[in-house]
Structure 1
Amino acid sequence: MSISEFNPASDPYESRPTYYIGQHDSNRWDVLTDDQYTQVLSSGFNFVTAPITNQHFYQRVVDLYKSFLQEQEQWLEERGITAGQRANPSMPGPVVPTLTDEDTSMYPSHIIGSLITYSSPWIDLCSPNPHIASISRQVLNLEVAYANFCGARTIVIPGPRQDQDGRGVAMYARAIQEALQQVSRANLIIHLPMYREPGLEEKVETLSHVFNVYTTAEPDSSKDIDIYTSWDSWHTIRTVCEYSSRLFLALRIPRRIPEKALQERWFSEPLHFLTIGQTTFQSNRSGYPSLSKHHQDLINRYMRLKNSPWLILTDVGPSTEELVRLFKQKAIEYPTIKEASKALQKEKRKPNNTGINDHVAYMKHLERQQLPYTAMETPALVSFQDWLQSPLQPLADNLESATYEVFEGDPVKYDQYEAAIAEAMAEWKTLKKPSALGTAENPYNPELIVAVAGAGRGPLVSRVIRAAESTGTSIQLWALEKNQNAFVYLLNKNKREWNSRVTLVKTDMRGWAGPTPKGYDSSANTTCKVDILVTELLGSFGDNELSPECLDGIQSHIARPYGISIPHSYTAHLSPISTPRLFADISSRVVSDPNAFDIPYVVRLFQLDFVAAKAPGHPRFQQAWEFIHPVEVSRSDDFAERFGKAVKYTTPGGGSMYGSGGTNEHNARHCHLTFVCPTRGVIHGLAGYFESVLYKTEVDGSEKEPVEISILPDQIDKKSKDMISWFPIFFPLKKPLYFPQDAELEVSMWRQTDDTKVWYEWMVDVYAWVGPKQRNRVGASEMHSSRKVACLM
């Protein structure tokens, strides 16, 4: 990856998400002919749906069940069995014979891979009648198996039509699990409404309705609708199917867009299609189709996904009858003058006389009206959406040049660092602070000692030099780097760019003896303190790349009490999230890596749902802990004075619960946070973020804002807009954790250490309120620990 791919400032991206628009006719019983298919594509569509079986097969199944009922009645009459004795579980049910060439118009062809095959909407997998449920399951298996044989890659299956019947949804989920086993390569797409808006369901009657199985009345549309029941059904289906990577969702968009919380819930799910029916469109003043602003915003939001959903327009034409008529008109080689005149006048009355379907023309208009990709949506950054990466271990491993190059492609971070360094240097002069080179007679030496620890390839060194030049500050600059390969690069850069102004030291910062300023006797190992120490050791959770431990090893060189550490402090933050995609990804890794669910992953979280609400005293993003530098009293410094410097980071002692000397216990942390969830849902883990104060003013009474960086979703635009150096961290749960409405999630997390490594432990409890002052624990995760993959000190 080049810097230009990653750096949003390097190249303008004016492109927008692309709409792939398909056509579905709910009355279509046969696959389109080549001519009809061409006609649909000519009207602007990119693809079409194709029914797997036809009306002949439907009638054959209906007749089969009718015949079964008649045989059953006859059998019972012959034996004189009364109606109350009819429920014999051993009586054989109807068996659907295999398909014949009369049952389908779908065959293997060169276009089959571009067709979206559609399962029969008249089956009822949820039927309370066991025979109809069995027939429906047999039909589904026959259809998906045949479509898979023909080469279809996508099979849409209409979802359950009711959610309240838990038995029916369970039966449906079981049938989908079985269907997944029938196909080896095809994806199954469950077609569900965003919520149960009246009129949003399939129009075709199911077998249960044909045979009057349902005796209860239809739901009263005047009553309040629980908008989460459809999601409940989906959650049951995908849970039974164990989050299969071949199970996706087609979401019906309603006429009335629901609340934002439900929109975000569906946004986190594996969307493959958004389907928009004819009734969802409104007519504008000219009588042409349009969508409300709320619909436009929802579609534009969903289209920002890396794998953006395709759009299917339902029953907007051309219908099968229209296609037949169009074909016949096309077949008239020489129309009469009267026919030609009528056709011409009809076309003139149409603003859209290009032959493009009016609904497609409108969707293409919306496509052009989308906002262009932002600086945070470069192709490289989009490719990182929801891509799991193991955190770096810069202490244990030496980074490659390409990794450094990616980090250096973020100007925002280094601009903020430079601003912090420049402000620190300017205030040093303003406050007339003593310097490390000062003497008893003249403590205010204008020359400052600055050290960059963990210099990498030198971007911070360059920013220190620029800050010194902009503030007119005289400095002596040291750059420390343990990576011998990067050190070679620094030596070359010092000659080419820095005019040998930088003193380079190849060392682990924790073992550095300190700076020997110009004019001091280097042979006598005479050192002094550091006025400003600059580091970029922060990880996605602030401390996960062992910044506290590294700074413990070098902070003894900071001049007291005036020395400055940049960064000054950093805080870790958490929020519970729903992210089915990441859970499925990690689940697929368990076979090869048993510790997959105990690894905190660095990931650019995107397709997720923040399940917690903003409640008084309980924000959506809550602080877990904080580190401040330099530490005034350090346990590790005490050990260094008593036993020698090397002890504090190489030799575990005895006496603590982890069998260590406790030299790093001051860097252990614990938090217990409460998140409020007003709607029911499921979480798959915890999202971790950090904020850092690089420098805050030391001028008394000053109202100057501190120089900060942040990756918190609600703060990044304010504090470090378009910063790309850090992606969030994700702490997964081994099992999805369901919570009811008005629940509270209690998150516990520990930062643990045994003086040789650092790891995290985390768990989540679910509490539901059962009274004004009483709540019950209704669920909990197990304790997770990253100790087996801990960060080595």
Structure 2
Amino acid sequence: MDSASSTGDMMPILYIGQHESKRALPITNELVRHAQDCGYDMLTSPITTPHFHASVLALMTSYNQAISETSDPNSQPLPLIPAFKPVDTPLAPSDTISQLVAYTSPWIDLGSPDPLISHLSRQVFNAEIAYAAFCGVITVVVQGPRLSSSSSIAQYARAVKQALSVGGYLQVHIKMPMAGGSDSEGNGDMGDLSSFAREEFVGKDEEQQSTDPLSAWDAWNVVRSVCNYHPRLSVALDLPRRLPSLTLQTRWFSEPLRLIYLHASSFLVNAKGSFVLSKPHQHFIFRCMRLRSFPWILLSDVGPIPGVDDPSLVLSYPTGHLAPEVVEDAPSPRSNLSQSPTPAEAAQMPKARKSRSDPTPQLSYLRYLQQNQPVKSMIERFGGGFQDYLQSPLQPLSDNLESITYEVFEKDPIKYEWYERAIENALRDWKAQGKSTSSGTSAVVVAVVGSGRGPLVTRALRASEKSGIPIKPYAIEKNPNAYVLLQRHNEEDWNNQVTVVKTDMRAWKGPTLPDGSFGKVDILVSELLGSFADNELSPECLDGVQHVLNPDHGISIPTSYTAHFTPISTPRIHADLISKASSNWDNAFEIPWVVMFQQIDYLSTVAESDPPYTNNTKPSDLNLEHPLTPNVQTAWEFRHPLPPTVLAQSSLRRGGSAVSGAGGFMGGDGANEHNARFCKLRFPVREMGVCHGLGGYFETVLYEGDKDGIGKVELSTNPVTMEAKSKDMISWFPIFFPIKTPLHVPQNSELEVSMWRLTDDRKVWYEWLVESFITTGGKRVRLAVSDLHSSMKSGCLM
């Protein structure tokens, strides 16, 4: 395996803690330091002790006895939890409190239908949260809601929302099982309060455990929705020893992950008797380590901290530098393994060999994974730190870009190489087809419009040199600052071959001829595309300069481009937009944002081997290795050059004469309405989810090639086609069209998206609307409809 260290990249450092579900010793400063000496970064600690648990049970027993002895149960007030005593909690303010991950009592039931149980649970929960905040705890893990009843989740969610207001700095992590079912820690114990719920309050369906793999995610979605995507609320994900399908893994990956629980049973034993993780576990951890804020890992019940009974014992810190045979993969586990081992399965599990030289083998293995991460892709190296970071789209027509902005684009290893190839192919075909030139000589007139700092000019000169076909190059640029640099390039790099013209391309009259008239251009080259193809006004700019293009056989590079989108779930970005909207971005949900997607989930996918989730779906039915392909559809297309009749009508409308029509739909003369677009697309949704907006992409044909398509050159940011057309291209991040109120979509439903590209005489903007439907009884029923979002206020100025 190639490691990231071989590439010189900074490797993410795993923060690893030790968790004991039944911790015997209280956490002291000395124990924390000893754990750090062993290589752990943190420890977990319960907020309250078994003594406190016993006192709550005794209080409940006393209450039940009291109401059983009275003829009027309503005369007995619900019991009150007394204030903590020192014996009730192991925590206290200390220098090492920041190295602790505190967790609330797993034996409470915040959503219990029994008012006594829910009343006691809320008191315990609030008292624990308040005391942890007082002690200076930063990270608190809360046991997730009981999944045996959906009716309990609302009460649970409200309690969590209240807890977030108690501790202003607490990071609250909800512990959720990855594959549905229940989390066994605390559930089912004799002291679990849920087991004391009275029969008259417990419904018949309360104990029916859901078998839907998405049940845990659905419960989490309710909690975070009630809490309005609170920035201090996140997921502590409990990984099973056999991971579910990639579909479900991706769904959790798109959520705000802050903690990952790895149980001792998740580790396999290889031929050398060493603890290792399965390939799916490795892949999921590596994927999480690519996140801008990657989660911490808690090793759960892997044994006590070594040497805890002998503080003088000197232990070696795990470095991750292990022999290859020690960490070689174990055979693949059987597909019929349960999520957690039964006692019989646990007895049959192979045992690791004891080693005095490595008292923390699971920790050492994770440090090995840290040292041997897969090499980052080109886009990951370029976009480091920009993952899921919202950026406003550029407005190159109304704004003059700075040099650093041009420089970022020019680092693309693919884009300019492909442009050079397109120009070279066009020149070769020009000669092969015996076309005449507009220069009056053998030189083909090539104009780079919007040339910026000149990278396309350099590529055009290289294409001429490679093909052996002379060109007469022009560089057209309106930015006065970039114009200075273009002149310097012409003197120092281009041997004064290029005619540099400072003007808006739409005002350029064409090459000046010796007699003072203006000539034509044979090949018009531009890089005006935005993240959604046309969002930086490429159609308007190329329409305005088309008059200089040879009308008989002039070539536009690019020749055409298409906009594409697909509905996505992206809780992290939605939370960021809520934060922006509450500050100074009152139109945050009306802006198409440029963003490097990372923590997203495609709601509409295409797959052959992975069946849809149903209540009868078993983990063994799901394909772990088959990646789903997002269903990305085409919104619209633009082609260049336009037919002369279209431009003629546009010119007529711009005049505002009596024969030019009644005016534009959006005001003004409507001269640009030939560049307006509309589409309505349907996206089937196989599994339930939440739509937060639309992920937008583009594809472009730089050069069509000959009639057989030979010499065709394309670029793409579409995740379906990018690998084949322009792998490792980094010039463009996708675009995101948010919706203000997320749409909850059920299994086997459908999303219908309407999108408009609108224009008046001054600017271009987008409007979008999302609807959800389900078909029942042969009838298509609308479930929800989003707001009609409009970017008119922030539209691109022409």
TM range (shorter): 0.7 to 0.9
Which residues of 2 match residues 371-770 of structure 1 at below 5 A?
371-378=374-381, 381-438=383-440, 445-517=441-513, 520-521=514-515, 524=516, 526-591=517-582, 592-614=584-606, 620-633=631-644, 635-640=646-651, 655-698=663-706, 700=707, 702-704=708-710, 706-770=712-776
Give the percent of matched residue pairs that are identical in Structure 1 and Structure 2.
Answer: 46
- Paired with 1:643 and 1:253, the residues of 2 have a C-alpha distance of 63
Secondary structure of residue in 1 paired with 2:757: strand
Structure 1 residue 217 displacement after superposition: 9.3
Residue 488 to residue 188, structure 1, CA distance change in 2 (3 Å): same
Match of 1:787 in 2: 792
Match of 1:335 in 2: none
Secondary structure of residue in 2 paired with 1:730: strand
357-366 or 724-733, which moves further after superposition?
A: 357-366
- Paired with 1:502 and 1:150, the residues of 2 have a C-alpha distance of 70
Structure 1 residue 99 displacement after superposition: 1.7
Structure 1 residue 91 displacement after superposition: 4.9
Match of 1:126 in 2: 111
- Paired with 1:95 and 1:656, the residues of 2 have a C-alpha distance of 70
Residue 581 to residue 205, structure 1, CA distance change in 2 (3 Å): farther
- Paired with 2:281 and 2:781, the residues of 1 have a C-alpha distance of 39
469-478 or 277-286, which moves further after superposition?
A: 277-286
- Paired with 1:415 and 1:286, the residues of 2 have a C-alpha distance of 49
Contact conserved, 1:13 with 1:374, CA < 8 A, in 2?
Answer: no
Deviations 1:109-128 (A, max 9, x none): 11111211111111111212
- Paired with 2:107 and 2:307, the residues of 1 have a C-alpha distance of 24
Pick from 226, 235, 239: which aligns with 1:249?
235
Deviations 1:425-449 (A, max 9, x none): 11111111121134xxxxxx41111
Residue 163 of structure 2 corresponds to residue 179 of structure 1: yes
Structure 1 letter corresponding to 2:77: P
Q: Which 5+ residue runs of structure 1 have no aligned equivalent?
A: 1-10, 331-348, 439-444
Q: Which 5+ residue runs of structure 2 have no aligned equivalent?
A: 1-5, 315-351, 609-628
Structure 1 residue 285 displacement after superposition: 3.4
Secondary structure of residue in 2 paired with 1:377: helix
Deviations 1:170-205 (A, max 9, x none): 110000000001011111000010123467554555
- Paired with 1:217 and 1:241, the residues of 2 have a C-alpha distance of 27
Contact conserved, 1:761 with 1:786, CA < 8 A, in 2?
Answer: yes
Structure 1 residue 350 displacement after superposition: 6.0
Match of 1:777 in 2: 782
Pick from 130, 134, 140: which aligns with 1:145?
130
- Paired with 2:298 and 2:313, the residues of 1 have a C-alpha distance of 27
Pick from 193, 214, 222: which aligns with 1:228?
214
Structure 1 residue 724 displacement after superposition: 0.7
- Paired with 1:217 and 1:25, the residues of 2 have a C-alpha distance of 32
Match of 1:344 in 2: none
Deviations 1:204-263 (A, max 9, x none): 555424535477699688xx8210110110000000000000001000011221111111
Contact conserved, 2:274 with 2:353, CA < 8 A, in 1?
Answer: no
- Paired with 2:171 and 2:55, the residues of 1 have a C-alpha distance of 27
Match of 1:32 in 2: 27
Q: CA RMSD in A?
A: 2.5
Contact conserved, 1:200 with 1:254, CA < 8 A, in 2?
Answer: no
Pick from 363, 368, 374: which aligns with 2:366?
363
Match of 1:167 in 2: 151
- How many aligned residue pairs are there? 730
- Paired with 2:591 and 2:454, the residues of 1 have a C-alpha distance of 30
Contact conserved, 2:757 with 2:765, CA < 8 A, in 1?
Answer: yes
Contact conserved, 1:30 with 1:50, CA < 8 A, in 2?
Answer: no
Contact conserved, 1:541 with 1:689, CA < 8 A, in 2?
Answer: yes
Contact conserved, 2:179 with 2:214, CA < 8 A, in 1?
Answer: yes
Larger Rg: 1
Contact conserved, 1:30 with 1:53, CA < 8 A, in 2?
Answer: no
Structure 1 letter corresponding to 2:518: T
- Paired with 2:247 and 2:699, the residues of 1 have a C-alpha distance of 26
Structure 1 letter corresponding to 2:632: F
Residue 67 of structure 2 corresponds to residue 72 of structure 1: yes
Secondary structure of residue in 2 paired with 1:574: strand
- Paired with 1:769 and 1:56, the residues of 2 have a C-alpha distance of 55
- Paired with 2:40 and 2:190, the residues of 1 have a C-alpha distance of 28
Match of 1:342 in 2: none
- TM-score calculated relative to the size of structure 1: 0.88
Deviations 1:390-436 (A, max 9, x none): 10111111111111111111121110111101111111111111211
Residue 455 to residue 703, structure 1, CA distance change in 2 (3 Å): closer
Contact conserved, 2:21 with 2:185, CA < 8 A, in 1?
Answer: no
Which residues of 2 match residues 83-98 of structure 1 at below 5 A?
86=73, 88=74, 91-98=76-83
Structure 2 letter corresponding to 1:658: M
Structure 1 residue 19 displacement after superposition: 2.2
Pick from 349, 352, 356: which aligns with 1:353?
356
Secondary structure of residue in 2 paired with 1:575: strand
Secondary structure of residue in 2 paired with 1:72: helix
Structure 2 letter corresponding to 1:364: R
Residue 205 to residue 586, structure 1, CA distance change in 2 (3 Å): farther
Residue 72 to residue 634, structure 1, CA distance change in 2 (3 Å): farther
Contact conserved, 1:19 with 1:310, CA < 8 A, in 2?
Answer: yes
Contact conserved, 2:149 with 2:205, CA < 8 A, in 1?
Answer: no
Residue 753 to residue 29, structure 1, CA distance change in 2 (3 Å): farther
- TM-score calculated relative to the size of structure 2: 0.87
Contact conserved, 2:564 with 2:632, CA < 8 A, in 1?
Answer: yes
Which residues of 2 match residues 287-298 of structure 1 at below 5 A?
287-298=273-284
- Paired with 1:110 and 1:714, the residues of 2 have a C-alpha distance of 51
Which residues of 2 match residues 104-115 of structure 1 at below 5 A?
104-115=89-100
Match of 2:36 in 1: 41
Contact conserved, 1:453 with 1:534, CA < 8 A, in 2?
Answer: yes
Structure 1 residue 15 displacement after superposition: 4.8
Structure 1 residue 497 displacement after superposition: 1.2
Match of 1:53 in 2: 48
Contact conserved, 2:110 with 2:118, CA < 8 A, in 1?
Answer: yes
Residue 460 to residue 297, structure 1, CA distance change in 2 (3 Å): same
Structure 1 letter corresponding to 2:731: S
- Paired with 2:570 and 2:549, the residues of 1 have a C-alpha distance of 43
Deviations 1:543-598 (A, max 9, x none): 00000000000011110221000001100001000000000101111132221100
Structure 1 residue 782 displacement after superposition: 1.6
Deviations 1:613-642 (A, max 9, x none): 2179x9700000000000013544445478
Deviations 1:491-532 (A, max 9, x none): 222111112211111111111111114xx12xx3x1111000
Structure 1 residue 697 displacement after superposition: 0.9
Pick from 290, 293, 303: which aligns with 1:307?
293
Secondary structure of residue in 2 paired with 1:561: coil
Contact conserved, 2:108 with 2:121, CA < 8 A, in 1?
Answer: yes
